[in-house]
């Protein structure tokens, strides 16, 4: 990759990692489901009037909007509100990579390698370790909700793979149309009208900036740039950079909210990231290592 493109990719991962802290700022005043609903309303409007509907079945567009908007970000918002720090949320959500692999094995009959099994085992040890963190940044309910979000993300990935839209930005914009109403209705069912009655007073500058950041730099710009990089370079070159997302997620939580990083949390985070590296890139790293060995040794 060209140096400037590497910097652009790192900037996108920084935006995606920082987004978890930005969400938490918005949640200080706005209900989680309403916050997500406004975010996806802005993702869809007015962009939907300028981007042609992608030529994929409606079930894929609607399904992706519901799973990505409601199942992923609506639920992750609930998880952060339930007591998980933005840094921990960014780590736990990375389990979507393994869940996508498992779903791929079921839906697309893809086989799993020993590296993927080993990576899952290492990451699960890290996840289990997180539950022993006692500094107030982890709750079982919050972790469980973020894991549900990870499941939703993996389902969304499968829908995207089945749909195979030529214009992924247009697909995201049109799919976003189907997230706000369910999110708003769910909040109405769960919390009644209280959140809507208080919304005019809750929408201060911090909440407004949080929503704008989530909708534009994080969602529309981030995905547009990332998909452009995937078209310009091999997936194997671009995808590994996504491992920086939880790193920036933790850093953002430390800088903005003063989250502490005791040894147990660092070890747990390192295990999760190590598991991702082993599961996603272990085979490639192993094969490249063998290829570099002298012929007499490789025999």
Rounded to whole angstroms, the Cα distance separating 43 from 209 reads: 14
As a whole number of angstroms, the distance between CA 41 and CA 124 comes to: 35
Flag whether pLDDT at 284 surpasses 80. no
pLDDT of residue 287: 65
- The share of the chain scoring above pLDDT 70, in percent, equals 95
DSSP state, 131? T
Domain chopping of the chain, boundaries: 85-135+262-299
> Rounded to an integer, what distance in angstroms lies between the CA atom of residue 23 and that of residue 28?
9
Give the CA count within 13 Å in the CB-facing half-sphere of 34. Answer: 24
Query: Which residues 6+ apart lie within 8 Å of 205 measured at CB?
Result: none
Q: What is the pLDDT of residues 119-166, one digit of tens each?
A: 889 989 988 898 888 788 889 999 999 999 999 988 998 898 888 888
Please tell me which residue, 289 or 273, carries the higher pLDDT value.
Answer: 273
Q: How far apart are CA 179 and CA 72, in angstroms?
A: 11
Residue in this structure with the two tokens 């933790």, named with its chain if needed: 250
Mean pLDDT of 203-211: 94
User: What does the DSSP assignment read for 240-286?
Assistant: GGGGHHHHHHHHHHHHHH-----HHHHHHHHHHHHHHHHHHHHHHHH
Secondary structure of 122-178 in the HEC alphabet?
HHHHHHHHHCCCCCCCCCHHHHHHHHHHHHHHHHHHHHHHHHCCCCHHHHHHHHHCC
- Predicted TM-score of the model (pTM): 0.88
């Amino acid at each position: 990759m060209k140096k400037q493109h590497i910097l652009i990719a790192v900037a996108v991962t920084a935006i995606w990692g920082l987004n978890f802290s930005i969400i938490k700022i918005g949640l200080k005043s706005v209900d989680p489901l309403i916050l997500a609903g406004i975010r996806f309303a802005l993702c869809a409007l007015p962009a939907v009037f300028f981007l042609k509907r992608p030529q994929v079945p409606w079930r894929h567009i609607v399904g992706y909007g519901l799973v990505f908007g409601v199942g992923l970000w609506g639920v992750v918002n609930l998880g952060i509100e339930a007591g998980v720090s933005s840094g921990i949320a960014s780590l736990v959500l990375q389990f979507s990579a393994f869940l996508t692999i498992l779903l791929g094995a079921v839906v697309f009959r893809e086989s799993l390698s020993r590296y993927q099994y080993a990576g899952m085992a290492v990451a699960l040890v890290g996840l289990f370790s997180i539950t022993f963190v006692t500094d107030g940044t982890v709750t079982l309910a919050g972790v469980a909700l973020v894991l549900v979000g990870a499941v939703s993300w993996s389902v969304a990935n499968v829908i995207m793979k089945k749909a195979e839209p030529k214009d992924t930005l247009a697909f995201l914009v049109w799919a976003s149309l189907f997230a706000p109403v369910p999110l708003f209705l769910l909040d109405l069912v769960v919390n009644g009208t209280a959140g809507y009655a208080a919304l005019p007073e809750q929408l201060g500058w911090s909440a407004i900036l949080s929503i704008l950041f989530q909708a534009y730099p994080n969602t529309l710009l981030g995905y547009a740039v990332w998909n452009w990089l995937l078209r310009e370079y091999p997936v194997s070159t671009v995808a590994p950079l996504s491992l920086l997302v939880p790193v920036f997620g933790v850093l953002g939580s430390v800088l903005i909210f003063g989250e502490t990083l005791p040894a147990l949390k660092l070890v747990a985070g390192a295990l999760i990231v190590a598991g991702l590296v082993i599961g996603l890139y272990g085979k490639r790293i192993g094969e490249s290592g063998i290829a570099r060995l002298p012929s007499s040794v490789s025999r």
